[in-house]
Every structure is written in structure tokens, then in C-alpha cells.
Amino acid sequence: MKGKVYLIGAGPGDYNLLTLKGLDCIKKADVIVYDRLANNRFLDEAKDDCKFIYVGKQSSNHTKTQDEINEIIAEQALKGKKVVRLKGGDPYVFGRGGEEGEYLLEKGVKFEVVPGITSAIGGLCYAGIPITHRDYASSFHVITGHLKDSSEELNWRALAKLKGTLVFLMGMANLNRICENLIKEGKKKDTPVAIINWATRPEQKVVTGTLENIHQVVLKEGIKPPSLIVVGDVVRLRSKLNFFENKILFGKNIVVTRSRAQNSKLIESLNTLGANVIEFPTIKIEEIVPNLELKQSIKKLQDYTYIVFTSENGVNIFFNKLYELGFDARKIGKSKIAAIGNGTAKALKNYGIRADIIPERFVAESLVEELKKVVNSEDKILIPRASEARKYLVNELSKICSVTEIKIYNTVKGEGNKEDIINFLDEGKVDYITFTSSSTVKNLVEILGKENLLKLNKVKLVSIGPITSNTIKSFGLKVYKEAYKYTINGVIDILKNDIVEGNINENN
Ligand code: SAH
């Protein structure tokens, strides 16, 4: 059986600028061949057993030659694999997709192309520059600034005459030459120019100037490839149309320490607000198996008058087991359900259960207060939860009635890498670290090592609530701010408000 190759345009860099078809191919791929311009996060969407091959190039310092890349993709497909060749932007815009297609055809390998948003258009858009505009440019021209043979010249005379927007790709090494030639052939010296570095990514940086001075601006600001060079009057619109860099958390580097399984909502919200999210999972949830106690208590669930859930993980593990044993939500019968936290209550809703009690504050103390109002000595409470949870809940409720605590999962150290986080901290690339539970604090400290603890005092530590804050303080660290509502949304609000308040202070 022969495989097939999908040449996929991964878009300019923003994770959400991939096509639905591209995503579908990535999900089904056996092999993904990718380079540095495609967002690496797409790889998380692949199958568990998908093989990844990096063929990145950096200017003239090629990791793999084009011939080698051609061979790799053809060879994998001939082995019967479904191969995705992931390319930045659009595969046919200076992506050498055409050459790869021709080669595959020669080898008798079937292929398909999935277009992507090219950086030449999408990148400008995220910099607030519309590539055409009725008042400024009625055409656009996308030009390579890196000629195949460096002695080969572009037709500068023709280019200088064009009234439309000129976009140079791969042009940074030749920026000076490009500007000089355009001026020499008649373009006005004060024609606006923008350089867009890492367009559409959270680290996007844009500088503007004119054909005459942009070279100095680039030197001064230290702008490097990959960058787009935009020449034309449309650059003037940037001050008005710059929606991306005006996002509230744009330019902020925020570390998320939750487990990978739980962090998607937080990451999505932060990305939407323009932040650069550094995923650093300090914890991993591991279900305790086998768990005879859990099995038995589910079988006699009708004996309990209350079931208390303290986390989303607890809910999911509990209900998975319940289904596995052949039951469904009806097994809960008349038992009342209590949940700490909105996330926990939401997880219950997925199983068709509406929590009877959700304490106002999302901590055990508040739940105990609520339960004290309703339970009596006849009640029997079941609490399936994390093995390392605080004793408070069980101790207090046991004073009133019978309580069965079942440990259903362990929170173990996550896969965050020590060197990575230390590098980020040393390079000053971290503005905030978010902690959403005590375990995230303890584990980050453990991963960093006590000797590196002080590095954390240089960044703003944001805590989800008082328990987590106490843990932060117990290591001698400073809590920058604590969420008013002890939820993920509460943490997001803190970050948003911090920027707004910071801006107000700066302007005063
Ligand atoms: N096929 C790609 C272009 C590949 S050529 C596309 O359609 O976008 C590589 C050049 O594209 C880089 O040298 C740079 O000039 C530009 N480029 C690609 N992605 C970019 C990005 N996110 N930010 C700035 N420039 C980018």
C-alpha cells in the first residue's frame, strides 16, 4: 500500500491560523515533517504514535538540504505512511512546495496541497497593515529578498515604479540593498517601511521608518529574521488598525504551571488576550489503580447521603469508574452532591449532575460551613479526592457524621524541564507565573531546586487563592496578587486588571 503526502500550509505562526483541513491531516498523520516557521504546538494534535522529523532551516545554515527533505518525505510515503509536510505560511509562497510536489510526482507518490495563510498577507494584517487599501495601494507584490544566485538581480527599475505594496520575504540580510536600489530607481526616500518580526506570534515585534532610515532602526532595535519587509503607504494605517498588539496581555510572558490535562482553558484565554504562554506543567494527575475501595463505594453508593467533589479530576475519575462498572448517573440516586469550585461543578454537569451545594468561596472551609447547616449525625459522606489533599475537610465533617474519604489520584511531578524554566527566568522572559494549587507551587520549587528559589522573586507570582498563597509564602516567596474569586477566571481577571492598573499608573 502506498502512502500519501499532504503539503500543508501551517499559517504565519498564530496557533489559530491553521485551516480546518490542515488540522484534520495533522490529526491523522503517521509522520510529520516540519520546520521552524510552523508553530510547534500543532504537533500536540498528532496521534500518540506519530513520528516527528525536524528539517528546519535557518537562512543559509541548513539543517537538511531541499534534496534531503524531498527524499525523506517520498521515502516515508513509499513505506505506506500518511505524511504531513508542514510548512510555514502557504506551501506555494516561497515554500518550495512546487519542487516537493514535482519530486513526489516523479517518484510516483500521491500528494495533496492544503493552502495556508501566507505571512505576506496574514503577517501584515497582525501588524495592523492592510496589504491593499483603496486610498493607498491597489495592488501588492510579494518578492523574494533572497535570490537563488546572489549575483542575480531583481528588476529594481520595474519594482520602484510599482505603486502597490511591496512585501519582501527572506530579505533581512539584504535590507540595505533593497532600500538603496528602490531609492536609486526612483522610489521616494520617505516611502514608509515596516519590518515585522515573528509576525502573528505573541513575540511579534514591528518597527517602522522610511526607505532611507529603516536600516538604522533595524540595527538599533536588533530586529532579526524571520521578518517581513513592507514598503508602501499602507504602513501608515498601522497606528489605527493595530488590533493585535493592542490586546491587553500582548507582550506579556506568562508561565502556566497546571497539568497539561487541565491547562487548556487557561492557555486558550491567555492566548486570546494576546499573552505569550509558557507551558510548564509542574504536576501530572495519576489515577490510583487498582482502587478496590472506590469500586466498592460506587457499588453501594445509595448508602451515602452526600458525595463531595473537590476537583474536576476527582469528578472525571469517579464517573469513569462508575461507567466502567456498568452504571450511569442514576446510581447517584438520592444522594446530595457538593462541589468545591465552578470547574468541579461544570465537570459534574457533563455527567448530567447539577451540584446541590457549591460554597461561595472555593475552599474547604467554606464547604464545611455550608454542610454544617444541613448534615446531622445520621448522614454518611463520601469524599473521593486527591491523595495529598488537606485533612481539614475530613476532620471537621467527621465531628458531625460518618465520612469516607477515598484517595483516587496522586498529583505527581510534571514534565516541565528545569533548564527551560531557569533559562526563561535568567533571560528575563517571564513576567508572571500563575499558581492554581499548592501542588503547583511545591513542585515548581522542587523542580527548580532551593538554590534557584530567589529567581522567583524577580517575577510576579499570581495565586488562585489563600491556600495556594500560603504555600507560596511558606517558601519565603512573595505573592504578587491573589485571585478574588478562587477560580481560573479569577486568575485571568487579576492579570487583566494588573495591566490596566499598570497603564493607569504609568499615565499618571
Ligand atoms: N511560505 C511562507 C514563506 C516562506 S519563506 C509563507 O507563505 O509565509 C520564509 C520567509 O517568510 C522568512 O524569511 C520571512 O521573511 C517570512 N516569514 C514567514 N513567517 C514569518 C513570520 N511569522 N514573521 C515574519 N516573517 C515571516
- Write the CATH number for 144: 3.30.950.10
CATH classification at residue 103? 3.40.1010.10
Q: Among 117, 138, 170, identify where a domain stops.
A: 117
The sheet with strand 4-9 has its strands ordered as 51-54, 31-34, 82-87, 4-9, 110-114
The answer to whether residues 301 and 335 touch, using CB atoms and an 8 Å cutoff, is yes
CB 232 within 8 A of CB 165: yes
Asked whether 375 and 335 are in contact (CB, 8 A), the reply is no
Please tell me whether residues 319 and 463 are part of one structural domain.
no
Q: Are residues 271 and 290 in the same domain?
A: no
Whether the CB of 3 sits within 6 Å of ligand 1: no
In terms of DSSP bridges, do strands 402-413 and 380-386 run parallel, antiparallel, or are they unpaired? parallel
263 and 296 fall within a common domain: no
Q: Kindly give, in sequence order, each residue whose CB lies less than 8 Å from that of residue 90, ignoring residues fewer than 6 positions away.
A: 9, 97, 115, 116, 117, 118
Cα–Cα separations (whole angstroms), residue 148 to 60, 67, 96, 441: 11, 15, 12, 52
What's the Cα-to-Cα distance from 495 to each of 76, 280, 353, 467, 492, rounded to whole Å?
A: 46, 18, 32, 19, 5
Q: Is the C-beta atom of 90 inside 6 A of ligand 1?
A: yes
CA distance 124 to 174: 20
- Catalytic residue numbers, as ranges: 35, 57
Q: Cell numbers of 380, please?
A: 454518611
Alpha carbon distance 179, 5 (integer Å): 40
Residues 257, 224: one domain? no
Domain end call among 375, 410, 445: 410
Provide the Cα torsion 227, 138, 236, 499; round to 10°: -60
pLDDT in tens, the chain (508 residues): 679 999 999 999 998 999 999 999 999 999 999 988 888 889 989 998 999 999 875 545 557 888 999 999 999 999 999 999 999 999 999 999 999 999 999 999 999 999 999 999 999 999 999 999 999 999 999 999 986 666 678 999 999 999 999 999 999 999 999 999 999 999 999 999 999 999 999 999 999 999 999 999 999 999 999 999 999 999 999 999 999 999 999 999 999 998 887 777 899 999 999 999 999 999 889 999 999 999 999 999 999 999 999 999 999 999 999 999 999 999 999 999 999 988 899 999 999 999 999 998 878 899 999 999 999 999 999 999 999 888 999 999 999 999 999 999 998 888 888 898 999 999 999 999 999 989 899 999 999 998 999 999 899 999 999 999 999 999 999 999 999 988 889 999 999 999 888 766 665 5
CA of 211 to the centre of ligand 1 (A): 21
89 lines ligand 1 (CB under 6 A): yes
What lies within 8 Å, CB to CB, of 45 at 6+ separation is 23, 26, 27
Residue 167 Cβ inside 6 Å of ligand 1? The answer reads: no
Shared-domain flag, residues 138 and 207: yes
- 333 and 261 within one domain: no
Same-domain status, 219 and 277: no
- Based on the domain organization, do 151 and 87 belong to the same domain? no
CB 434 within 8 A of CB 465: no
CATH label of the domain that carries residue 425: 3.40.50.10090
For 44, list phi and psi in degrees, rounded to 5.
-65, -20
125 and 112 in one domain? no
d(CA 244, CA 262): 27
The residue to mutate among 17, 99, 169, having the most atoms of ligand 1 within 8 angstroms of its beta carbon, is: 169
Distance 132 CA to ligand 1 centre (A): 19
| Residue 196 and residue 204 in contact, taking contact as beta carbons nearer than 8 Å | yes
Cell numbers for 316: 472525571
Q: Are residues 421 and 312 in the same domain?
A: no
Pocket test residue of 16, 18, 37 for ligand 1, highest count of atoms within 8 A of CB: 37
**Helices 264-272 and 488-507: crossing angle, nearest 10°?**
30
Q: Quick one: how far is CA 342 from the chain centroid?
A: 23
Domain count for the chain: 4
Q: Where are the extended beta strands (E) located within 152-252?
A: 165-169, 192-197, 205-210, 227-231
At 399, is the secondary structure helix, strand, or coil? coil
Secondary structure element (H or E) that encloses residue 321, with its range: helix 312-324
In this structure, the number of other CB atoms found within 10 A of the CB of residue 153 comes to: 10
376, 410, 444 - which closes a domain: 410
Q: Which atom of ligand 1 is nearest to the CA of 118?
A: 7
Segments forming the whole domain that contains residue 161: 121-246
For residues 439 and 501, membership in a common domain is answered with yes
* Ligand 1 within 6 A of CB of 174: no
Task: Say how many Å lie between the CA of residue 190 and the centre of ligand 1.
Answer: 25
The grid coordinates of residue 295 equal 469500586
Distance CA 508, CA 505 (A): 5
Q: Tell me how far the alpha carbon of residue 93 lies from the centroid of ligand 1, in angstroms.
A: 9
pTM summary value:
0.81
Quote the cell numbers at residue 340.
Answer: 468545591
Among 87, 85, 86, 90, residue whose Cα is nearest residue 118: 90
Pairing outcome for strands 432-435 and 253-256 = parallel
Dihedral angle, C-alpha 129, 131, 132, 135, nearest 10 ° = 30
pLDDT of residue 341: 85
Q: What is the spatial distance between Cα 214 and Cα 318, in angstroms, rounded to a whole number?
A: 61
Mutate-to-test residue for ligand 1 from 14, 16, 119, highest number of ligand atoms within 8 A of CB? 119
- CA of 158 relative to ligand 1 center, distance in Å: 24
**Half-sphere exposure at residue 142, Cβ-oriented, CA atoms within 13 angstroms:** 17
**Looking at the structure, do residues 293 and 399 belong to the same domain, yes or no?**
yes
* pLDDT at residue 59, as a whole number: 46
Give the cell for residue 319: 464517573
The CB of 194 under 6 Å from ligand 1? The reply is no
How is the beta sheet containing 283-287 ordered, strand by strand? 283-287, 402-413, 380-386, 306-309, 336-339
How far, in Å, from the CA of 38 to the mean position of ligand 1? 10
Ligand 1 binding pocket mutation candidate from 94, 148, 207 (most atoms within 8 A of CB): 94
202 Cβ below 6 A of ligand 1: no
Residue 14 CA, ligand 1 centroid: distance in Å:
13
- Pocket flag, ligand 1, residue 126 (CB < 6 Å): no
Give residue for cell 520595474: 158
Res 138: pLDDT: 95
